[in-house]
Structure 1
């Protein structure tokens, strides 16, 4: 979750386990969605009213659910764990449909926007913990109306989980570029493809990890961070990727919520490929690539600034190269795992689609340039979230 530190009920392990013995790792998604006025496009604080009326559909008892988030202007859609990309894709689409209907029932809309294009004055959910966060972190908490996409992928143990964290860390900035969907902030074009990343990294506990090698080192770091009093509790350990506190999963947390559900599916496929590749490397005794966290932070900034429009930092050398070269390197890195899992064809198809259509940030900017109106940007995003075809398309 992007501000709460409260985890939903996504992918744990499930019957198919974690993949070391030829089984597919399970994975699940948490998508945060903005609640907007259908007329003005402004974010509206109605999550409480929506969830009070929301009744989980009978046919979806084992499917996606809606939950509250840090701000009342947003809700979260949480899928259960799945072992196949097709099943997860179906639940991502179903979850958005449920959210769309629940919003319509109270006269608002949901939009898969990582930040509000229009000025917003967020209202935290009235829980004691959230009040404490607002008091402690001031403007950082008050302005934290950002919607992310979090991906859980199962691991067999904390030892395997930390080994995976050590081996995927240098590839994670690419996910910011692929998911970029937040070019606007308080009514202004920020010049960033993912300005949400900039806002999110105001939290003192956010960002990349150094290589840790053992669960003991990981948990000691978490304990030390909480011990400083700067992070209020373990729920506020906002690493780019972390071990879940409640499930046997690695949780990747740095992506924007994607405008199109197909892009979310792509991220999930890549995430599972990265985790499987990292776990295999660990079992084979392949050392993690040593890139200092300070350079990974720069790689994340560059991905946030440009998305796929310019250069990114090479995940191995940390030197600027064309974004497409980094995307190709990522696909080559996880190709064998994707092939073995059975996801390669679908992930390649989804990647080609994203590269041809552009990210959510690209679409938002195109709508603004065409209409000159940020309200139209929000309207288009809500239509896209509800899978309503664009006019003439």
Structure 2
């Protein structure tokens, strides 16, 4: 593989549930836990939209070993901080049964503005995602990466899906979070842009027309970050385990690097219709890894395992170049064998019919293997 001009650093943001250990309900204790967590984590821990959620973000990482170490540290310290306030931390993209009516929007001005703009959509947006940033400083190349990566976002979603339950019901979806969040006005799969200038023109028009208040509220599944010189991949559910989060981070960096190299070489890529991309995302959210997914390039449905193998083949040279192939491919195979987070939650529920035990399982998986 040719030597890219970018560093392709990695940053991972994870949104977590705050859980009452007695009732297993979401608990609005963000403001109490944040000061405790900040004593050890500083600005790496932040508030989120709902008072029953809290977010961490890794420092800039140069490799997957650093990503794993930081995710372990962040989860460990956040779990300890929550415990001091009598709470637990859970990593799943929806809560199995807590009701939105019982939640409160955080008082931060940004979140109150979201509530003012989006009203019921904001009140019902009790979702938890994982966002992976990949360092690409050249905005023109960043656009090329987004254009090329968009056809591979659905398999990432299928691998990460962890939100089958909502409001006490099996929704039938592997990632119900995708359906909830997809109601926001500017969300979902990105379009193709001919240049960074065209991208910026669209962003400016969305802000000028009042469709969004400012550019950070454009929630495409892959976008240029407004805060960092990165491409931000926002398509995935938050992963229950650190292993799965490391898998997603490795795949995302491998995808970004592969797309960058192919853009440098001016290789052709599938300029898939937006409708087909949206259909692929819906199917990944609906079924996860359980049945066929849409091969956007070939415009047909194929078994999920076949599409995941095709994805791995696409990113393999980049993963091998980083020395990540053995770890990432093994983690993907593990996920294919044991099931994604949604499948594993359903297995717990099928054994005992208790959504409280599903929450206990999520809490255990969130802290599993933390050094």
TM-score per shorter chain, which class?
A: over 0.9
CA contact (8 A) 1:182 1:194 kept: yes
Deviations 1:124-151 (Å, cap 9, x if unpaired)?
A: 1112332222122121100101000000
Is 2:95 aligned against 1:116? Answer: yes
Kindly indicate whether the alpha-carbon contact (under 8 Å) linking 1:93 and 1:261 is maintained by their aligned counterparts in 2: yes
Matched, 1:230 2:211: yes
Q: 1:273 and 1:53 mapped to 2: Cα distance?
A: 36
Aligned residue for 1:84? 63
Mean alpha-carbon deviation: is it higher for 307-316 or for 349-358? 349-358
Structure 1 runs (4+) deviating above 3 angstroms are: none
CA distance in 2, matches of 1:182, 1:119: 13
Equivalent of residue 71 in structure 1, options 13, 26, 50: 50
Give the C-alpha shift of residue 324 in structure 1. Answer: 0.5
Instruction: For residue 77 of structure 1, report the CA deviation from its aligned partner.
Output: 1.3
Q: Number of paired residues?
A: 366
Query: C-alpha distance in 1, partners of 2:93/2:28?
Result: 16
Instruction: Find the aligned partners of 2:121 and 2:115 in 1 and give their Cα distance.
Output: 8
Matched, 1:248 2:232: no
Measure, in 1, the Cα distance between the counterparts of 2:360 and 2:276.
38
User: For residues 54 and 80 of structure 1, what CA distance do their matches in structure 2 show?
Assistant: 16
Please state if 1:147 is matched with 2:131. Answer: no
Structure-2-length-normalised TM-score: 0.95
Q: Which moved more, 1:161-170 or 1:89-98?
A: 89-98
1-side partners of 2:364 and 2:192: how far apart? 42
Distance 1:119 1:109 in 2: 15
Residue aligning to 2:8: 25
**Are 2:58 and 2:71, in contact at CA under 8 Å, matched by a contact in 1?**
yes
Deviation at 1:119, TM superposition (A): 2.5
Provide the rounded CA distance (Å) in 1 between the counterparts of 2:13 and 2:189.
Answer: 20
Aligned to 1:382: 363
Q: Deviations over 1:52-86 (max 9, x none)?
A: 333432xx67xx82111111110011101111111
Q: Which moved more, 1:134-143 or 1:247-256?
A: 134-143
Residue 252 of structure 2 corresponds to 271
The structure 1 residue matched to 2:269, chosen from 274, 288, 302, is: 288
Partner of 1:15: none
**Aligned ranges for residues 1-393 of structure 1 at < 5 Å?**
20-21=4-5, 24-57=7-40, 65-120=44-99, 121-387=102-368
Distance 2:241 2:37 in 1: 24
TM norm structure 1: 0.90
* Kept after mapping to 2: 8 A contact 1:299/1:318: no
* Distance of 1:167 and 1:388 partners within structure 2: 35
* CA positional deviation for 1:229: 0.9
1:26 deviates by 0.7
In 2: Cα distance, 1:53 partner to 1:339 partner? 40
Superposed displacement of residue 213, structure 1: 2.4
SS at match of 1:216: helix
CA deviations on 1:10-42 (whole Å, 9 max, x unpaired) are xxxxxxxxx614x75210100000001101110
Structure 1 residue 225: Cα displacement:
1.2
- Note the alpha carbon deviations across 1:98-125, whole angstroms, 9 max, x for none: 1110110100100001001013232111
Question: For residues 257-310 of structure 1, what are the alpha-carbon distances to aligned partners after superposition, in whole Å with 9 as ceiling and x for unaligned?
Answer: 011110110000000011000100110011331101111111000000000000
Give the Cα–Cα distance (whole angstroms) in 2 for the partners of residues 122 and 145 of structure 1: 8
1:56–1:65 Cα contact (<8 Å) kept:
no
Distance 1:339 1:129 in 2: 41
Decide which structure has greater helix share.
Answer: 2
